[in-house]
Structure 1
Amino acid sequence: METRRSTVDATATVSSLARIGEGCFIGPRVRIAGPANLQDLVWIDSDVTILGDVTIGESTYIGKGCVVGHPRRDDLRRILEGEIPESNIPGRTVLGKRCVVRSGSIIYSNVVVEDDVELGHNVVLREDVRVGRHTMVGTNVVIDGESEVGRGVSIQTGVYICRGSKIEDFVFLGPCCVFTNDRYLMRLETKIQGPTVKSRASIGANSTLMPGVTVGEDAAVGAQAVVTRDVQAGTIFFGVPARRRKRVPRGWRSLLEERYKKSSAGI
């Protein structure tokens, strides 16, 4: 079988520790510092920075100006003080196969992004975040550290997900909804606890989830709601504060789950 040579622009800087697969493209002014592993057919657009132990799966695209493996705050300080080189940032960052990371996005160290994930422009994934297969993350979304996002999730433009949140499979998050984790607004010492959204739940645009609340399976939260207490499975909540209004109609189903199953089956 004929091998495909990789193309590395003359202005790119690639560490001797990096491994580059077949058929890759590394664009102008790309900087790879550390033991990165680029599998076959990876496309790295111009002005991308890759730091530390990063694996990028086959046929994944990284857009212009992205950073993959950005150091967390403490590690950045150690780099600036000369304690560690930026090529040796702690933690391992993994991007799966066939992912799309659009321009301006920042992925911190110790993040796992599974196969077939798409990120919009200017997305931020902070340290210790995990994103499941076939999930779509819209433009200007921020997912703060130690948060988990399941499979087949749709996160629309401008969503903010606070540290310690958990989002299960096939969840829909409408544009500009906000997760919070500090009930006392930095006025009292308290345990930080992000919201949990269970499988197949839907959250409407501009809604706010307060610290520690759980939205149950198949539930729906209306637009601009402020959720201050748990939402029971299969119910519809809306209002300020959000209150239970009725059961989810029998004919409703999860289109995200159906699409995920078709994609996984190659249909």
Structure 2
Amino acid sequence: MSVPQHVLDIMHSPGVYFCGDPDMDAAQLEQMRILHELNASEPGSERRSELMHAFFAEMGEGAYVELPVHANWGCGTHWGAGSYANFNLTLVDDGEIFIGDHTMIGPNVTLVTTGHPVRPDLRERYAQFSEPIRIGYNVWIGANVTVLPGVTIGDNAVIGAGSVVTKDIPANTVAFGTPCRVVREIYDHDREYYWRDRRIPEGI
């Protein structure tokens, strides 16, 4: 990752900022070139691994992202050890995204750190703001979930498919819906059943 520090400082600081800095445009173009090569890379190749480490802010040991992946920057996203994302992940990572160890992300998920002011004249001037997303340890995010700016998802939480997560979700809970709400805590039943009435086989 070779994005200038002052560009990162602009995007990762709280408050409204304006796009159009020439250094920002040049840095993003370079990131898009890396992303293009990454998405075209050969599965299992050493080059693919090199490009993932070059594109993202951090790739923990054993982390893996299925391709294609779409991202505004890449350099705003931190992958924990053993984390995994299925295909068509979209990262609006002008702000930072922190993904915890062993977290699993389903297909077609969108993580959005950035928004725009409602005030029309500010949008005309390309104003935006970015708030970090923090996803904890061993979280499971189902297919087609959207997570919005500033959200924290606690350790071991499960987010049901198709949810729109607008507020923080506590650890050790199952949550789903639009907007996403906590439905229940993870409890003893989940130690015996993996899905509905399907019992987990003994010895695993």
Q: TM-score normalised to the size of structure 1?
A: 0.48
2:147 equivalent to 1:218:
no
Q: Distance in 2 between matches of 1:245 and 1:205?
A: 18
1:197 to 135, 144, 163: 135
Q: How does 1:93-112 map to 2 (within 5 A)?
A: 104-105=40-41
Q: How does 1:65-84 map to 2 (within 5 A)?
A: 73-74=25-26
1:59 maps to what in 2? Answer: none
1:115-194 matches, within 5 Å, as 127=55, 129-143=57-71, 144-163=74-93, 164-184=96-116, 188=122, 189-194=127-132
CA distance in 2, matches of 1:233, 1:192: 24
> Share of identical aligned residues, percent?
23
Query: Structure 1 residues 126 and 177, CA, compared in 2 at 3 Å: closer, same or farther?
Result: farther
Find the aligned partners of 1:212 and 1:233 in 2 and give their Cα distance. Answer: 16
Contact (CA 8 Å) 1:131, 1:148: kept in 2 or not?
yes
- Report how far residue 193 of structure 1 moved: 1.6
**Where is the helix percentage greater, Structure 1 or Structure 2?**
2
Which SS does the other structure have where 1:237 is aligned?
A: strand
Cα displacement string for residues 215-235 of structure 1 (whole angstroms, at most 9, x for unaligned residues) = 000001000000000000001
Relative contact order, higher structure (CA 8 A, sep 6+): 2
Contact 1:172 1:200 in 2 (8 A): yes
2 CA distance for matches of 1:76 and 1:171? 27
Alignment of 1:40-51 (within 5 A): none
Shift of residue 241, structure 1, vs aligned partner? 0.5
Gaps of 5+ in 2: 1-23, 193-204
2:65 counterpart letter in structure 1: V
| Residue pair 1:127, 1:146 contacting (<8 A) in 2 also | no
> How far apart, CA to CA, are the structure 1 residues paired with 2:154 and 2:83?
15
| Distance change in 2, residues 1:182/1:233 (3 Å) | same
Of 179, 183, 193, 1:241 maps to 179
Residue 171 of structure 1 and its aligned partner are, at CA, apart by: 0.4
The answer to whether the Cα contact below 8 Å between 2:117 and 2:128 also exists between their aligned partners in 1 is: no
Could you list the structure 1 runs, at least 4 aligned residues long, displaced by more than 4 angstroms after superposition. Answer: 117-120, 123-128, 185-190
For residues 225 and 162 of structure 1, the distance between their equivalents in structure 2, rounded to whole angstroms, comes to 17
Relative to 1, partners in 2 of residues 1:236 and 1:136: Cα closer, same or farther, differing over 3 Å? Answer: same
| Structure with bigger gyration radius | 1
Output the TM-score relative to the length of structure 2.
0.61
Stretches of structure 1 lacking an aligned partner (at least 5 in a row): 1-71, 78-88, 94-100, 107-116, 254-267
